[in-house]
Structure 1
Amino acid sequence: MSGCADVTDNGAAISVTGIARDFEAGGQTLRVLHGIDLDVQAGQLTYLVGESGSGKTTLISIVAGILYPTEGCVRVFGTDIYSLSDRALVEFRLNTIGFIFQQYNLIPTIDAASNAAVPLIAQGMNREEATERGRTMLERLGIGDQAGKLPSQMSGGQQQRVAIARALVHEPKLVVCDEPTAALDAKSGRRVMDLLREVAVASDRSVIIVTHDNRIFDLADRILIMEDGRITHDGTDVPANER
């Protein structure tokens, strides 16, 4: 991995330069990202759109410090994240990044408020205070009445909103979302997007969303379309033939 040693910091909130990613499959090397360059400014709500298999989730996982790139440089608010030690990268993610997983990834043995509070507890906050903040975030997402329930007692859409609460509760500077409205009806999806939009427009924060949900395309500041591991469109709307 080449890293950022020879790449000038341009001041973008997220700066991706020459990112490539290979996977091994059946004894062969498959390149799924091909030299991607991307800058995202703070105060911007950015969508990543494209067919399944185009590389969207791989790209946001690299931006979020979850998946190492094969080549290239990733800076998040000025930090060359893949030059950090494993421990420092975990701490950076905990303090700077909120990731909304498509599969929710909730802890099955604790209630919704406690799940939402996990990042705060990991940061060292008193459990009672953290859980109260988690409950408040659930209320903002319209599911305060689910705070005492286990994930198994909630619908898929309710679990998704708990996962969103968990990603936002510690007020991260970067929020990365994988299909945050996929399991939600139109009203719930709009409530979630209003909150994400509120986060995104802050001058010191940024939100990147992978989505196929054309109900929310109008909220984006910027829409990127991916195809075969490359960004093929960068604009403020999705072309009619891509909708």
Structure 2
Amino acid sequence: MDRIAQRAQDRAGGGVPVSNVALAAPVDAATAIATRGVVRDFTAGQQTIRVLHGIDLDIRAGELTYLVGESGSGKTTLISIMCGILWPTEGEVRLFGTDIYKLSDNELVDFRLRNVGFIFQQYNLIPAIDAASNAAVPLIAQGVDRGEARARAIELLAALNIADQADKLPSQLSGGQQQRVAIARALVHQPRLIVCDEPTAALDARSGRRVMDLLREVALADDRSVIIVTHDNRIFDLADRILVLEDGRITHDGRDLPKDH
């Protein structure tokens, strides 16, 4: 069930309205994301499956946070809820102090457009436009002049060492080049939260390190935060914090992975 359907079900009495769940603890001004009691259920036929079990979590601005877990542990569901893509069945999410699920659908879309950058595992580039135009999409959606948006996008492509690919269509790019275009698109509008799903999976070690250095530079800004879903042990040393999710619950929160991972 997608976020809009879940929201409609909640309003119809099929779930616990998010507005009825209060924050269990105060939120620090430096907190980028605060979740309290976040539950997410999915319905499969007559069966209800609980994917997240009451997640309480604070992620501070300026942190580079890794989210690690086996397939099916709830990682994608959790990051989708934290940035306003999926509606929680129960619980509350505040993003930079805003209770995002009390916003209207249009307000939420606008808030997400201005504050969140996404790097998807499948890239999700628009096939009919070139690399620079793909990277400029968030700026154009905000009403920035197309020429200016494209120029700013090319600056980021240069930082990612693919400015020479700016005029090529996605079909003319390698997987690693497409990934870097997707990263430029996520950064171009200078969002306060960047959410990445395996951003180095298609990259060689050198390119992956370059990407992570750029993301870390962004994360170190006092008013921004980066969350990365990854299994790439080549980059674990760059994390400020590693969260392990198992069966919809946070089982580890620390600077390093536990020894059994």
Q: Tell me which interval the TM-score lies in, with the shorter structure as reference length.
A: over 0.9
Question: 1:92 Cα deviation (Å)?
Answer: 0.2
- Unpaired stretches in structure 1, ≥5 consecutive residues: none
The residue type equivalent to 1:114 in the other structure is: S
Task: Please give the alpha-carbon distance, in whole angstroms, between the structure 2 residues aligned to 1:119 and 1:4.
Answer: 33
1:28-73, Cα deviation, whole Å (9 max, x unpaired): 1111000000000111100000111100111001111111111100
State whether residues 132 and 157 of structure 2, in contact with CA within 8 Å, keep that contact through their aligned partners in structure 1. yes
Task: Please give the alpha-carbon distance, in whole angstroms, between the structure 2 residues aligned to 1:26 and 1:74.
Answer: 28
- Which residue number in structure 1 is paired with residue 22 of structure 2? 6
1:139-192, Cα deviation, whole Å (9 max, x unpaired): 111111110010011111111111110000000001111111111110110010
Q: Sequence identity, in percent?
A: 74
Question: 1:5 Cα deviation (Å)?
Answer: 5.7
Give the aligned CA root-mean-square deviation in angstroms: 1.1
Match of 1:211 among 223, 230, 245: 230
Task: Please give the alpha-carbon distance, in whole angstroms, between the structure 2 residues aligned to 1:23 and 1:103.
Answer: 23
Task: Please give the alpha-carbon distance, in whole angstroms, between the structure 2 residues aligned to 1:60 and 1:6.
Answer: 20
Q: Secondary structure at the match of 1:65?
A: coil
Question: 1:27 Cα deviation (Å)?
Answer: 2.5
Correspondence 1:196 to 2:212: no
User: 1:132 and 1:53, CA in 2 relative to 1: closer, same or farther beyond 3 A?
Assistant: same
- Which residue number in structure 2 is paired with residue 44 of structure 1? 63
Q: Secondary structure at the match of 1:66?
A: coil
- Which residue number in structure 2 is paired with residue 132 of structure 1? 151
- Which residue number in structure 2 is paired with residue 109 of structure 1? 128
5 Å-filtered alignment, 1:22-41, equals: 22-41=41-60
Paired residues, number: 242
The residue type equivalent to 1:117 in the other structure is: A
5 Å-filtered alignment, 1:1-243, equals: 1-3=17-19, 6-7=22-23, 9-11=26-28, 12-242=31-261
The residue type equivalent to 2:73 in the other structure is: S
Q: Secondary structure at the match of 1:68?
A: coil
1:209-239, Cα deviation, whole Å (9 max, x unpaired): 1000000000000000010010000000012
Q: Secondary structure at the match of 1:13?
A: strand
- Unpaired stretches in structure 2, ≥5 consecutive residues: 1-16
Task: Please give the alpha-carbon distance, in whole angstroms, between the structure 2 residues aligned to 1:46 and 1:2.
Answer: 25
Task: Please give the alpha-carbon distance, in whole angstroms, between the structure 2 residues aligned to 1:37 and 1:80.
Answer: 15
